[in-house]
């Protein structure tokens, strides 16, 4: 492996992956992004973004496209293929197997993010009233009524955030309790701006151009009711997209990849950025910061390994003493 041929693979074309590509490419690496669907990831599906530095307000698809244009201008190779496995070889290289073939790289960065658990009825309203991120989209509904569905700590935190932003928050809880910390639940229950609807399931969404109403079913009486809202924040959990790493032995925490401060995982040469890692804040700007670190340190890792292997190859064989006849 020569210094001019450091090969870094990035699995996932979201903002974290693209940020990583920029830094790795500028460090003189040969960079390839593997993306199963379209570049931009979840960012491209966000209606408006108001918390990314340098843009007071920008549509998600536009920010994603700006990043994509930057990556493309640097000559980063993009393969629209699904990665099915990653295997580390004895020579410290990685073999990435996709639905199209197999490729070898010196370092791998996992930027596959998470997959939101869905209700199964909201696809037609995603970006038109349905969101999976209160901090991303809550400010668009100032003074309006919104709903949060879920009974976990994430749902409670989403509702508490919205409590200080919107006009009214309905929490649709499919059970009779929350699985969140008691202190968090108490804050939610004591808010005059929040109404908790226990034992309710959302059976339908309605609205012509965007979401305007939810159909609720009482899980005890089975009676239906209508709830007028301008937005629904789905907080029924998510899971990191890491199934393809099952054979690597990488260390996880609740399914998320554990990294050090260079974004390297427990597998030497494998890094992780953005929502798939165990970082506590899941935002566009933090994913980009993760990517910047991983891109820089992945190339540094490759060069250090190259130097080590080069020294080992040129090290003279140990001298042996000639045998003497007695």
Bridge pairing between strands 94-98 and 83-88: antiparallel
pLDDT: which is higher, 231 or 153 = 231
Taken in order 93, 279, 60, 116, the sign of the CA dihedral is positive
pLDDT at 281 (0 to 100): 85
Q: If 0-12 CB within 10 Å is exposed, 13-18 middle and 19+ buried, where does residue 240 land?
A: buried
Bridge pairing between strands 168-172 and 145-149: parallel
How far apart are the C-alpha atoms of 286 and 58, rounded to whole Å? 17
Q: Average pLDDT for residues 217-239, to the nearest whole number?
A: 95
Cα dist. 177→1, 114, 171, 185, 225 in Å? 57, 26, 12, 9, 21
Q: Average pLDDT for residues 233-239, to the nearest whole number?
A: 90
Q: 112-116, 288-292, 310-314: which range is least confident on average?
A: 310-314
How far apart are the C-alpha atoms of 13 and 38, rounded to whole Å? 7
pLDDT at 133 (0 to 100): 86
pLDDT at 42 (0 to 100): 82
pLDDT classification of 3: cutoffs 50, 70, 90: very low
Element (H, E) at 21: helix 15-26
Residue 19 has which token pair?
């940020």
Tell me the backbone φ, ψ of residue 250, rounded to 5 degrees.
-70, 145
Q: Is the pLDDT of residue 212 over 70?
A: yes
| Per-residue pLDDT tens over the stretch 86-101 | 999 999 999 999 999 9
The answer for residues whose C-beta is within 8 angstroms of residue 228's C-beta and 6 or more apart is 145, 212, 213
pLDDT: which is higher, 48 or 133 = 133
How far apart are the C-alpha atoms of 315 and 320, rounded to whole Å? 15
| Per-residue pLDDT tens over the stretch 245-287 | 987 789 999 889 999 999 999 999 999 999 999 988 889 999 9
Q: Is the pLDDT of residue 202 over 90?
A: yes
pLDDT at 237 (0 to 100): 83
Tell me the backbone φ, ψ of residue 95, rounded to 5 degrees.
-105, 120
pLDDT at 313 (0 to 100): 75
**How many percent of the chain have pLDDT more than 90?**
75
| Per-residue pLDDT tens over the stretch 46-83 | 767 888 999 999 988 999 999 999 999 999 999 999 99
């Amino acid at each position: 492996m020569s210094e001019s041929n450091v090969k870094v693979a990035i699995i996932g074309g979201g903002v974290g992956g693209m940020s990583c590509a920029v830094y790795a490419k500028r460090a003189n690496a040969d960079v390839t992004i593997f993306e199963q669907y379209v570049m931009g990831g979840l960012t491209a599906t966000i209606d408006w973004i108001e918390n990314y530095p340098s843009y007071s307000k920008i549509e998600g698809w536009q920010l994603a496209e700006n990043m994509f244009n930057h990556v493309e201008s640097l000559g980063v190779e993009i393969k629209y293929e699904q990665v099915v496995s990653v295997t580390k070889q004895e020579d410290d290289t990685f073999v990435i197997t996709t639905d199209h073939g197999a490729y070898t790289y010196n370092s791998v960065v996992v930027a596959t993010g998470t997959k939101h658990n869905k209700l199964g009825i909201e696809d037609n309203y995603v970006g038109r009233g349905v969101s999976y991120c209160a901090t991303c989209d809550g400010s668009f509904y100032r003074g309006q009524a919104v709903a949060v569905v879920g009974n976990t700590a994430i749902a409670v935190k989403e509702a508490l955030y919205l409590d200080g932003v919107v006009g009214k928050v309905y929490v649709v809880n499919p059970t009779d309790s929350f699985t969140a910390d008691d202190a968090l639940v108490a804050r939610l229950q004591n808010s005059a701006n929040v109404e908790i609807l226990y034992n309710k399931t959302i059976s339908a969404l309605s609205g012509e151009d965007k979401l305007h109403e939810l159909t609720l079913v009482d899980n005890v009486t089975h009676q239906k009711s209508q709830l007028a809202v301008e937005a629904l924040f789905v907080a029924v959990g998510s899971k990191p997209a890491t199934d393809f790493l099952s054979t690597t032995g990488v260390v996880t925490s609740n399914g998320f990849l554990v990294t050090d401060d260079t974004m390297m995982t427990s597998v030497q040469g494998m890094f992780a950025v953005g929502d798939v890692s165990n970082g506590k804040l899941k935002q566009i700007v933090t994913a980009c910061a993760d990517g910047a670190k991983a891109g820089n340190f992945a190339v540094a890792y490759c060069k250090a390994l190259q130097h080590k292997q080069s020294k080992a190859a040129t090290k003279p064989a140990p001298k042996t003493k000639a045998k003497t006849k007695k």
